[in-house]
């Protein structure tokens, strides 16, 4: 009976060692998947950075559109108006959510924007009346310049994220890679 007990104990110790080795291998694979160059943490940071860039681009485009619409209203029939770096910076800052810790710096001269006045006719239900209407849509006919927007975000971990963009007179926003 004593022999039988020893053989069962040996198998239990061997299975315990094999189980521990398998668990260590699985733990190593899991740690590598999390922290490696293409690991989940790295991919998560990259996705967060790309999301922030997308938010910044949309924020700049919205501020540019708001400023353009305001300038169109104030243009009083003039075909050309300008957006300065200071005006765009003020508009972006006013559009920012006050809970975010973001600083904005806009540099460059000004954007010169020419509006295209297109004449079109719209007909009413009666065939004898034609009412001409004028539609204006902003487009950059002249060489309009370029502004540079630098947005610095304070992150929760104490680090800073800095994104730099260029804005053209047409309203195109592109990220400057550095």
Q: Is residue 106 part of a domain?
A: yes
Q: Is residue 37 part of a domain?
A: no
Domain that holds residue 64: 56-175
Q: Is residue 39 part of a domain?
A: no
Q: Is residue 50 part of a domain?
A: no
Q: Which residues contact 57 (CB under 8 A, 6 or more apart)?
A: 165, 173, 175
**Mean pLDDT, the chain, integer:** 74
Q: Is residue 76 part of a domain?
A: yes
Q: Is residue 29 part of a domain?
A: no
Domain total in the chain: 1
The DSSP letter of residue 100 is: S
The model's pLDDT over 102-141, given as tens digits with 9 standing for 90+, comes to 888 888 777 776 655 443 333 444 444 333 333 333 443 4
When pLDDT is cut at 50, 70 and 90, the band that residue 170 belongs to is confident
Q: Is residue 30 part of a domain?
A: no
Q: Is residue 23 part of a domain?
A: no
Kindly report the number of other CB atoms within 10 A of residue 43's CB atom: 11
Q: Is the pLDDT of residue 143 over 70?
A: no
Question: In Å, how far are 53, 85, 97, 136, 171 from 139, measured between CA atoms?
Answer: 25, 19, 29, 9, 9
Q: Cα–Cα–Cα angle for 85, 89, 92, nearest 5°?
A: 140
- In three-state secondary structure terms, 37 is coil
């Amino acid at each position: 009976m004593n022999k039988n007990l020893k053989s069962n104990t040996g198998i239990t110790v061997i299975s315990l060692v094999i189980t521990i080795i398998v668990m260590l291998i699985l733990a190593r694979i899991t740690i590598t998947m999390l922290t490696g160059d293409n690991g989940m943490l790295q991919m998560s940071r990259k996705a967060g950075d790309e999301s922030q860039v997308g938010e910044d681009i949309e924020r700049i485009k919205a501020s540019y559109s708001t400023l353009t619409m305001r300038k169109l209203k104030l243009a009083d029939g003039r075909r050309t108006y300008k957006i300065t770096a200071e005006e765009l910076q003020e508009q972006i800052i006013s559009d920012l959510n006050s809970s975010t810790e973001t600083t904005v710096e806009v540099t460059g001269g000004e954007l010169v924007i020419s509006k295209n006045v297109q004449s079109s006719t719209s007909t009413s239900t009666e065939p004898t009346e034609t009412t001409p209407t004028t539609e204006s849509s902003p487009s950059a006919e002249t060489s309009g310049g370029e502004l540079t927007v630098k947005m610095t975000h304070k992150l929760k971990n104490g680090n800073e994220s800095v994104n730099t963009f260029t804005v053209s007179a047409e309203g195109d926003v592109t990220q400057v890679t550095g």
